[in-house]
Amino acid sequence: MSTLDDKWFTEIYAEESTAFSLKVTRKLHEEKTPYQTISVYETETFGNLMAIDGCVMLSGRDNFLYHEMMSHPALFTHKKPRRVAIVGGGDCGTLREVLKHPDIEEVWQAEIDERVVRVSEMYFPELCESNADPRANFFFGDGIQWMRDADPGSFDVIIIDSTDPVGPAEGLFKRDFYRDCLMALAEHGIIVQQTESPLMNRPKSIIADAHNEMEKAGFDHTRTLLFPQPVYPTGWWSCTMAGKGMPLAYFREADVDERPFYTRYYNSAIHQGAMATPGFLEEIIGD
């Protein structure tokens, strides 16, 4: 739930009795699509802000944290990624990060609501600068069915850049979907799923359920990574990786250190630190 007065956009997390506010200068855009309501605001200190159904999706100031951590750890853990699928990710920031890797040959992005992409192109053009890359391909429709229909062994890495597990995104957190991802992955493939904040009550079960559902779907290894994200509930976020016969504890550290592109947050030390599991999270996921 969110509120807007003359100066402040406030997202209220009623279940946690907390809220997050940004001072805004004006509303730039709002439209209702067949799936959701997309709003964009100009803020005083966080750049443009996108909200969907009143929930903050991203800001111009801090989105690099999320996009870099949703993409680079998995890509540098895989031995030789060439083909990548992104389910969701309509703002295209994750797509941009994936395409920074020169060895990537093909990326498919499956987004149910094309309007999220088009609005992002208008108000977050820096995130969409790789949309015209010849390696980038778009499918607009049901990502769950799209993954179910994918040819076996089609992808090396699958990034599930989804919203919270409610409404159309709920199925993206289920065992059947993870099983379809497993089938679509080539040998030693990796999936990564955003799994919300480890500090909130409900997402604790989301993280535990992700590990459980991924393992029951047939993945051999799972690992949750933690990173800051100021505009999301509690300011602390997570993503969970799962490997198809692929251990996740090691990554191509030398390749990270010699990467031919710039990252604002991600590096080899951040990768190692994000893989460390706090004691309370061990209790949540049962490690």
Helix (H) or strand (E) holding 242: strand 236-243
Span between the terminal Cα atoms of the chain, in Å: 34
User: Catalytic residue numbers?
Assistant: 161
Q: What are the tens digits of pLDDT across the range 81-108?
A: 999 999 999 999 999 999 999 999 999 9
Could you tell me what percent of the chain has a pLDDT over 70?
Answer: 94
Say if residue 71's pLDDT is above 80: yes
101 close to 270: Cβ distance less than 8 angstroms: no
The whole-number average pLDDT for the span 16-34 is 94
pLDDT score for 168:
64
pLDDT band at 138 (very low <50, low <70, confident <90, very high): very high
pLDDT band at 75 (very low <50, low <70, confident <90, very high): very high
If one looks up domain 2-59 in CATH, what number appears?
A: 2.30.140.10
Average pLDDT, the chain: 93
Closest to 98 measured CA to CA, from 36, 157, 142, 146: 157
Same fold, 2-59 and 63-285: no
Closest to 16 measured CA to CA, from 234, 206, 164, 208: 234
Domain locations in the chain?
2-59, 63-285
85 close to 147: Cβ distance less than 8 angstroms: yes
pLDDT score for 164:
72
6 vs 24: CA distance, rounded Å: 8
pLDDT score for 259:
98
Could you tell me what percent of the chain has a pLDDT over 90?
Answer: 83
Q: What are the tens digits of pLDDT across the range 212-269?
A: 999 999 999 999 999 999 999 999 999 999 999 989 999 999 999 999 999 999 999 9
Say if residue 11's pLDDT is above 60: yes
208 close to 39: Cβ distance less than 8 angstroms: no
pLDDT score for 155:
98
205 vs 152: CA distance, rounded Å: 30
Q: What are the tens digits of pLDDT across the range 155-205?
A: 999 999 987 766 666 777 889 999 999 999 999 999 999 999 998 866 558
The whole-number average pLDDT for the span 14-35 is 93
- Orientation of helix 201-217 relative to helix 175-184, angle to 10°: 50
Say if residue 134's pLDDT is above 70: yes
Q: What class has domain 63-285? A: alpha beta
Within the chain, where are the H helices?
63-77, 93-98, 114-123, 143-148, 175-184, 201-217, 253-257, 268-274, 279-285
